[in-house]
Amino acid sequence: MVKSFEQFELIEPLLKALTVLGYESPTDVQSLVIPAIKNNRDVIIKSKTGSGKTAAFAIPVLNKIIWDKKEPQVLVLTPTRELATQVRDDIFNIGRFLRIKVEAVHGKSSFDNQAKQLKQRTHVVVATPGRLIDHILSKTIDLTAITHLVIDEADEMLKMGFIDQVKEVLTHVPMNIQMILLSATMPQDIVELSNLHMVNPQLIVAKDSI
């Protein structure tokens, strides 16, 4: 296992943020996922709650952000607004020295405010599927520059009946994006989703400790 974040050859502002956050060494899932995402692989990540999955995808994805591009490059789908807010905060903290702009888009805050924010330069959008589709249909979000799509807590997405909405979102993002799917369990519908939309995905099952 990798002992320090330096070994991943990350850009300096990210390493600095990890130090400020007190992340001394990568968790098991992080040491497997960071190199896979850096190598542009589609990945399916199965590991339990609390194993550090947000940073596992956020670190390598932020490492690739093009700072001066106006349209969002990263889309993270989450099943609940609480999780969207949490992931938004985590990504903001990891990207703080990159001046990353990250917006949470969910049904419990003003649509118009979100639309206004999305008009400004935004690097990362963390969204629940329903409100995201509202923005897609209203043309208040531009997904043409998306290069990375993360589906967080995919099994919860399924349980809450959002799988068709996730599939709909997939029809609105560019074809050749890198996909990252996280799930605590791997039900058949999730396997089918990944078979349909991912290219030779790497399955990462981590040992879980932090």
β 74-77/148-151 pair status: parallel
Q: Are 184 and 48 in contact (CB under 8 A)?
A: yes
What pairing do the DSSP bridges indicate for beta strands 74-77 and 124-127? parallel
Q: Could you say which of ligand ADP, Mg ion, none residue 114 binds, taking C-beta under 5 to 8 angstroms by partner kind?
A: none
Work out whether 46 is an interface residue with Mg ion (CB under 5 A).
no
Interaction partner, residue 55 (ligand ADP, Mg ion, none; CB < 5-8 Å by kind): ligand ADP
**Whose Cβ is closer to Mg ion: residue 53's or residue 88's?**
53
- For the record, the structure tokens of 100 come out as 């990353």
CB of 76 to ligand ADP, least distance (A): 12
Number of residues located near Mg ion, criterion CB under 5 A? 1
* Contact range with Mg ion by CB under 5 A, out of 2-10, 49-57, 101-109, 173-181: 49-57
- Least Å distance between CB 95 and Mg ion? 17
d(CA 134, CA 179): 22
- Indicate the residue among 82 and 192 with the shorter CB distance to ligand ADP: 82
Stretch of residues binding Mg ion (CB under 5 A), selected from 47-55, 90-98, 158-166, 200-208: 47-55
Neighbours of 156 (CB within 10 A): 16
Provide the pairing of β-strand 202-205 with 148-151.
Answer: unpaired
Q: How many CB atoms lie within 10 A of CB 97?
A: 14
Q: If we measure between CA atoms, which residue out of 32, 62, 58, 55 comes closest to residue 45?
A: 32
Pick one of 53, 88, 106, 123: the residue that binds Mg ion (CB under 5 A): 53
Interface residue list for ligand ADP (CB under 6 A):
23, 26-27, 30, 49-55, 210
Which partner in ligand ADP, Mg ion, none is near 27 (CB below 5 to 8 A by kind)? ligand ADP
DSSP string, 106-157: -TTS-HHHHHHHHHS--SEEEE-HHHHHHHHHTT-S--TT--EEEETTHHHH
Nearer to ligand ADP, 81 or 135 (CB): 81
Instruction: Pick the closer one to Mg ion by CB: 118 or 181.
Output: 181
Q: 156-185: which residues touch Mg ion (CB under 5 A)?
A: none
Interacting residues with Mg ion (CB under 5 A) = 53
